[in-house]
């Protein structure tokens, strides 16, 4: 059987390039064995990876290890995330073809064949050290690729255990365990960089430093952008529904998700009622003095205080020194009136703090959201709670974001949901607005190359008049 914590580990003393070279060679050997797998066998492998974390005992134990090692989030929600994200991704993957002919278009005379991209290097964040590795491994193996995981130092134990479970499940179905490997401890920046330079595709979820390093590596790379989700509560919103969803999303896994709501802009005519609904849902509206206390504690020398991020509401309130009433809340609201460096609450907070803005009307709300995104989170997403789809369409048409979610809880909807059409993922592309190469949720299509078989079709050549006629008629030749 495979060993969880030493999978792919080289003999001590090798330098970073040698360490990575050994892993890459094992990955390529595993791919060679897997190369002729048919679609059914590939789907069996993907299902095996999914089961390795979906198993209730594994999902819970990995969540416990993650919280113990990183101090981020909570066990119940991480357990749910390990299972829900994996289940949804498996649903998506089992319904598509990635082996042999995947598409035929007789009209165009084109037949498309799927091919592997090669060895995938996957950088994993501390916020999701179990769910993200499995999510990426399932997509990579769906394309008949191998994957090498680069954990965050804080999340190493969880990611290594996760990789061990995946390897054991592959071994169980008589497939090469080396389709999934993990960098050995200690995982350093240099070791991760060596992987980036040696693999065939690098996929990065996590810090923007890692994303930029991946783009500079010379290897084709897919990175994600910074989250800082702003949400509008419109005049026509169902306030109770909106508040319930915002609370559920904001508090899930103690706001570790990049899709968690960071601010809510409320139209003036429903402002007081919306605040009341948010309070009923579990929110606490901080006083001006409490806002100052939160700011002074949440940021230290301009950086988020690691002892407060992704902590439970009781821990947060106690460390900040909030009132007894506040300590009973599920999340904390602070009112603000601007965005940018002079308004730290307008940025991503990775904590149970929700910034609240008042807007005179919908146009003012859109302007506020645009201001927030320009400061941080451009490209990622926005949300709106409304009964007016024209307002939702205006956001989609006018804002530089990849996703606009309507009447949804962001942390549950942005990365795919059973009641929306987005692909299940833990990596959200944010387009060129955020310096990303993709403007969609990471999915299996990013893990296959496509060969096009092209045959002759009846000529499709229009006349000059058909192409230029309208232009000539208006402007002349």
Residues designated as active site: 258
- Cβ atoms 91, 48 nearer than 8 A: no
CA 273, CA 356: separation in Å to the nearest integer? 13
Gyration radius from the chain CA atoms: 24
379 Cβ neighbours under 8 A, 6+ residues apart: 225, 373, 400, 401, 402, 430, 431, 432, 433, 434, 436, 439
CA 95, CA 261: separation in Å to the nearest integer? 31
Helix (H) or strand (E) holding 87: helix 75-94
CA 427, CA 132: separation in Å to the nearest integer? 8
SS3 129: coil
Give the residue carrying structure tokens 């255990």: 161
Helix (H) or strand (E) holding 90: helix 75-94
Tokens of 299: 């940021």
CA 382, CA 407: separation in Å to the nearest integer? 11
User: Any idea how long the chain is?
Assistant: 477
Task: Reduce the secondary structure of 379-422 to three states and give it as a string.
Answer: EEEEEEECCCHHHHHHHHHHCCEEEEEECCCHHHHCCCCCCCCC
- Cβ atoms 138, 38 nearer than 8 A: no
């Amino acid at each position: 059987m495979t060993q969880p914590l030493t999978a792919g580990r080289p003999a001590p003393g090798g330098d970073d390039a040698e360490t990575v070279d050994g892993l890459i060679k094992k990955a390529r050997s595993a791919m060679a064995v897997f190369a002729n797998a048919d679609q059914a066998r590939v789907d069996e492998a993907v299902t095996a990876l999914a089961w390795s974390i979906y198993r209730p005992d594994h999902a819970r134990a990995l969540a416990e290890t993650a919280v113990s090692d990183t101090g981020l989030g909570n066990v119940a929600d991480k357990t749910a995330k390990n299972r829900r994200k994996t289940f949804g991704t498996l649903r998506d993957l089992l319904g598509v073809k990635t082996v042999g002919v995947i598409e035929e278009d007789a009209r165009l005379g084109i037949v498309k064949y799927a091919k592997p991209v090669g060895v995938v290097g996957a950088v994993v964040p501390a916020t999701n050290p179990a769910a993200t590795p499995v999510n990426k491994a399932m997509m990579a193996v769906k394309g008949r690729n191998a994957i090498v995981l680069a954990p965050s130092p804080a999340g190493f134990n969880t990611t290594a255990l996760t990789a061990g479970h995946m390897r054991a499940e592959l071994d169980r179905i008589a497939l090469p365990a080396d389709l999934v490997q993990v960098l050995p401890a200690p995982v350093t920046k240099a070791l991760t960089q060596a992987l980036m330079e040696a693999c065939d595709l690098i996929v990065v979820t996590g810090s923007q430093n890692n994303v930029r390093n991946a783009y500079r590596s010379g290897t084709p790379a897919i990175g994600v952008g910074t989250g800082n989700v702003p949400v509008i509560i419109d005049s026509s919103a169902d306030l109770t529904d909106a508040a319930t969803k915002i609370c559920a999303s904001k508090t899930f896994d103690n706001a570790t998700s990049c899709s968690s709501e960071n601010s809510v802009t409320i139209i003036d005519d429903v402002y007081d009622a919306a605040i009341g609904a948010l309070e009923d849902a579990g929110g606490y509206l901080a006083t001006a003095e409490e806002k100052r206390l939160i700011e002074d504690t949440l940021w230290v020398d301009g950086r988020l205080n690691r002892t407060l991020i992704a902590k439970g509401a009781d821990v947060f309130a106690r460390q900040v020194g909030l009132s007894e009433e506040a300590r009973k809340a599920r999340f904390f609201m602070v009112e603000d009136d601007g965005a940018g460096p002079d308004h730290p609450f307008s940025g991503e907070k990775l904590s149970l703090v929700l910034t609240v803005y008042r807007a005179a009307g919908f146009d003012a709300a859109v302007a506020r959201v645009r201001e927030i995104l320009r400061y941080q989170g451009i490209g990622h997403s926005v949300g709106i709670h409304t009964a007016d789809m024209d307002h939702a369409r205006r956001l989609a048409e006018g804002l530089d974001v990849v996703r606009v979610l309507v009447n949804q809880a962001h942390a549950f909807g942005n990365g795919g949901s059973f009641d929306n059409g987005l692909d299940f993922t833990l990596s959200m592309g944010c387009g060129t607005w955020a310096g990303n190469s993709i403007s969609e949720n990471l999915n299996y299509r990013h893990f296959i190359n496509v060969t096009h078989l092209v045959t002759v079709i009846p000529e499709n050549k229009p006349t000059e008049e058909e192409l230029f006629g309208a232009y000539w008629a208006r402007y002349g030749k």
